[in-house]
Amino acid sequence: MLDKNLFKLLGDNKKYIFIVVALMAIGLFASVGTTACICFAISLAVRGEKAFAAYIAPLCIAVFCVAVRYAVSRINGDLKDLLGRKVKKDLREKAYEKIVRLGVKEADGIGMAGLTQTAMEGVEQLDIYFTTYIPQFFFAMTAPVILFLITVWIDWRVALVLLAMVPAIPMSIIAVSKYAKKVFAKYWGKYISMGGEFLDSVQGLKELKIFKADARQHVKINESAEEFRKITMKVLIMQLASTTIMDTVAYGGAGLGIMMVILNLANGWGFGLGLPAVAGALFLILVAVDFFLPLRAFGSAFHVGMNGASAGRKLLAILDLEEPKWGSESVEDRNISLENVTFSYDGQRDVLKKVDMTFPEKGMTAIVGESGCGKSTVVNMIVGAFLPKEGSITVGKKDLHSLSRESYYGNLGVVSYNTYLFNESVRENFRLAKQEVTDEEIYEALKKVNLDEFIRGEGGLDKVVNEDAENLSGGQKQRLALAVSLVSDKNIYVFDEATSNIDIESEAIIMGNIKDLSKTKSVIVISHRLANVVPADNIYYMEAGEVKESGTHEQLMKKGGGYEKLYSMQKSLEEGYIGGTPLTATATGYQTKGDRNNG
């Protein structure tokens, strides 16, 4: 009923749990004191006591107990609110810090929708788990013992009967807990799955409309929603059934205790502590229900707690993901080498096989090959997303993962076909790369990628980039991403399909900048389009995870191997006409004759 792994997530906030439980116990004593004063006053009235002075003491004590109970309730409410805010803040920080530590490694098998729902809605559910379920769990275990120690001095027989009936409630909770755990795990899984499908449908709405598949997707989402409705109804039915069982046990146990009190009165056994019969009997009758109410409240919180626990396990799954290992050494020499590197995603099929590559601190090195040959995997190895199964990756003769991540990433810049631009102003996007960047530096970088006039005409650096850069064309987005990377002034640049799916003009501008960068920086280019890598100082041609050939463009063409065949095939496809104008090979790729002077 109490998940130790989830409880550890509280960290230093555990103290608030125990303070809340202690205050709840004080509130219980105050409630018992109020009940005792009322019973004593009624007993005086039954005996015919008419002097007001006799009622002053129990009245004052009762008022004091009520005040204590009120104060404790207020303090408890404030403490739970404080605990909830701290827990949510700490858990979201842990989730975010974990994602940051994972770095460029993706959260395997979770997905963006699941990650978002776990960090947002899941943490909200854990808030209820920690602020309601856990305090009530400890209090429910403590309250019956406190009441037994009080009532045993009045009538040990009634106290024993009430205490003996109390375990029936947790036993009923345990009976349904295994089933409940499965149901809530399935419930949370369906919830995340439905959220993922909805997000997927919204993001792909344009494609659904184009292919006229929106009606079919609508049916699919309805089916997912119906599955979620069914599992929700299972949860509600289970809650109703378990509540009925707990009510039966609670009120049945209280009723049995009351019968014992009546039997006591009928037999004239009397009550301990010299209490009058009316006061003792009335006190036991009123307190009998209190034996079961804490556990009854815990039973109600149990279902909320199970939901929170299911969400918490999803969060734990994220927090338990293996992180890339980094060291503490700094980057001194920027020559990167892959030596005899073998890598497998699943531990069975090797996607890289004994790869040897060298990337000097100055110059342009290209990695080419057909789709699935291992180019992007090499990039992932270079940026530190994965560890090699065999072999080593070194930076200046130091193992990559012996370096501190801050030092290595301080030297590394990555521009890919899907480089993310934030929903901020153009200026703020540049400030992510360089905090103290000036407007002059930004415009200088924009001029290099032929975007300065466009940005000036769109309102300047305060122009807001829409979500997913929807207010920019594909070429403008790629060139802006390149400009941001140029401002960061890194020493090692990786361009992973940076010219994918853009126009020839944008491609020529980007490749021209890449070649200029290679004069002073280490530039690594991954490209399907071999015309882009013609000016590279060295080209690695890969097939099926292996380096088959390496050398300059001219050297590889003379070999007449796989590179030459792939290049010739692409050239034959690309040589032709774009708008009636022949394509011509240049140092930065293929351009139309009219574009040559703009490259």
Three-state secondary-structure class, residue 542: strand
Percent above pLDDT 90 for the chain: 19
CATH architecture of 336-598: 3-Layer(aba) Sandwich (3.40)
The answer to whether 30 and 61 are in contact (CB under 8 A) is no
Of the pLDDT bands very low, low, confident and very high (cuts 50, 70, 90), residue 593 is very low
Query: How confident is the model at residue 546, as a pLDDT?
Result: 92
Identify the pLDDT of residue 179: 66
Q: Are 119 and 259 in contact (CB under 8 A)?
A: no
Domain 88-319 CATH class label: mainly alpha
CA distances from 461 to 82, 450, 594 (A): 41, 15, 31
Q: What does the alpha-carbon distance between residue 414 and residue 268 come to, in Å, rounded to a whole number?
A: 89
Between the CA atoms of 274, 277, 279 and 285, what dihedral angle is there, to the nearest 10 degrees?
120
Of the candidate ranges 79-93, 103-117, 472-486, the one whose mean pLDDT is the lowest? 103-117
Beta bridge partners of 582: 577
**Domain boundaries, given as residue ranges, for the chain:** 88-319, 336-598
145-197 pLDDT, tens digit each: 998 998 888 888 888 888 888 777 777 666 666 666 677 777 767 777 787 77
| Diameter over CA atoms, the chain | 120
The band of 95, judged by pLDDT with boundaries at 50, 70 and 90, is: confident
CA atoms of 142 and 130, how far apart (whole Å): 18
Residue 21: how many other CB atoms lie within 10 Å: 21
Within 8 A by CB and 6+ apart from 432, the residues are 422, 484
| pLDDT score recorded for residue 585 | 44
| DSSP 3-state of 156 | helix
* Tokens (6 digits) for 42: 């009624």
d(CA 345, CA 298): 45
- Token pair 């003792």 is found at 280
pLDDT score, position 581? 45
563-575 burial, b for 16+ CB within 10 Å, e for fewer? bbebbeeeeeeee
For residue 598, pLDDT beyond 70 = no
Asked whether the predicted pLDDT for residue 580 surpasses 50, the reply is no
For the segment 49-54, the average pLDDT, to the nearest whole number, is 82
Q: Where are the alpha helices (DSSP H) in 268-323?
A: 277-290, 293-319
Confidence tier at 111 by pLDDT (50, 70, 90) = low
Percent of the chain with pLDDT over 70: 87
**Does residue 557 register a pLDDT over 50?**
yes
